[in-house]
Amino acid sequence: PSDGVVLGPNGTAYQTTRSYNAATNTDTTTVTAINPTTGAAQTYTLTGIATGGAIDQTASPTGSVVVGPNDIAYQTTSTTNATTGTTTYAVTMINPNTGVTKTYSLTGTPSGSVVIGPNGTAYQTTTDGSNTKVLIINPTIATAPLLLGTPSGSVVIGPDGTAYQTTNSYNFVAGAYATTVTAINPSTGAITTTATLAGSPSGGVVFGPNGNAYQTTYTVNNTNGNESWAVTAINPATGATTTATLTGTPLSAVYAPDGTAYLTTLNTNTSPPTYAVTVINPNTGETATHPLTGVAEGLVIGPNGIAYQTTYTSTYNATTGTYNYTTTVTAIG
């Protein structure tokens, strides 16, 4: 097995396996679908892809099988040309109800596994080192829009089913990095919103309860090496952005029911390092930063909307050889 069993929404069990033939020096990937009612097993063999006229060895699995809400399974595979040594990738779609499979060749190297939206649309992000493509597969389309830059992780699905891909690019003229967040319509594959932000991305977008997308970015001072961090709120309906500057590296983000964001940060540019909580208003974009004394632990939000941040400080007693700790809980709101 290449990984454990993956279950579909109707209970169908999928198991990916890999076998190696020493005589031919080839790998073969199979995906077996097991019917939860009858126990009947149907096995699908994933074959290699022709590259440059030569025959590739059969496919090796890349990650686990991924199953959508419509019970269709997707397996990403890699194949290596025994003559040239080049590796190519593909995604195979498996419909266990009809037994039909379809393989889509990928351009570049996968960034993560297939991600599936609530309507069953599948997304596979790839990169060639300079640009990013997102293969979009649903019953009506199979397209791969070209996006500038390298991917920062896989596609992230928003509350309304919209797919968001974050990419990172470098402007050699300006000598600076830029982050682009692209929103993709799951039904048509069309790009609906593009937000370009200063700096490099830290991961992909996350979503608040109000549906806003939040993207964290950072820039590095080439003179002293210090990092500057920011969080940008993106309105999915209008594409409008609001950026809040942070006092340090974000350690965690907690969102109140009304969409207010609380980010606990660590500033390593100071000596000693300092912690703070930055509060971002989802409606106005206004921010308020609350410095903390000591080391920050987890932040929680109470039912009254008040945030509580735990911190601790320590002192060393040279006489007894012990540390004394003081814990503080700060209410923010």
> What are the pLDDT digits (tens) for 190-214?
888 788 899 999 989 999 887 889 9
Q: How confident is the model at residue 141 (pLDDT cuts 50, 70, 90)?
A: low
Q: Which residues contact 73 (CB under 8 A, 6 or more apart)?
A: 6, 8, 14, 31, 33, 65, 66, 67, 93, 94, 96
Confidence (pLDDT) at 332: 93
Pair 197, 215: CB distance under 8 Å: yes
| 93: pLDDT strictly greater than 70 | yes
The DSSP letter of residue 149 is S
Confidence (pLDDT) at 59: 59
Q: Write out pLDDT tens, residues 216-251.
A: 999 988 888 888 999 998 888 888 888 888 989 999
Confidence (pLDDT) at 120: 87
Pair 213, 232: CB distance under 8 Å: no
* Residue 84 within a domain: yes
| 25: pLDDT strictly greater than 80 | no
The better pLDDT of the pair 47, 175 is held by 175
The better pLDDT of the pair 103, 263 is held by 263
Q: What percent of the chain has pLDDT over 70?
A: 94
Mean pLDDT over the full length of the chain: 85
| 290: pLDDT strictly greater than 90 | yes
pLDDT, mean of residues 135-153: 77
* Residue 47 within a domain: yes
* Residue 190 within a domain: no
CA neighbours closer than 13 Å in the CB half-sphere of residue 34 = 9
Confidence (pLDDT) at 98: 82
Confidence (pLDDT) at 10: 84
Tokens describing residue 35: 């019917």
Confidence (pLDDT) at 112: 84
pLDDT, mean of residues 25-48: 82
* Residue 12 within a domain: yes
| Domain total in the chain | 1
Q: Which residues contact 267 (CB under 8 A, 6 or more apart)?
A: 247, 248, 249, 273, 274, 275, 276
Q: How confident is the model at residue 9 (pLDDT cuts 50, 70, 90)?
A: confident
* Residue 310 within a domain: no
Confidence (pLDDT) at 52: 34
Confidence (pLDDT) at 230: 92
pLDDT, mean of residues 308-312: 96
Q: Is the pTM of this model over 0.85?
A: no
pLDDT, mean of residues 163-182: 88
* Residue 81 within a domain: yes
Which ranges in 155-308 belong to alpha helices (H)?
Answer: none
* Residue 30 within a domain: yes
Domain containing 9 equals 1-105
* Residue 95 within a domain: yes
Confidence (pLDDT) at 299: 94
C-alpha to C-alpha distance for 48 and 27, rounded to whole angstroms? 9
Q: Phi and psi at residue 288, in whole multiples of 5°?
A: -140, 130
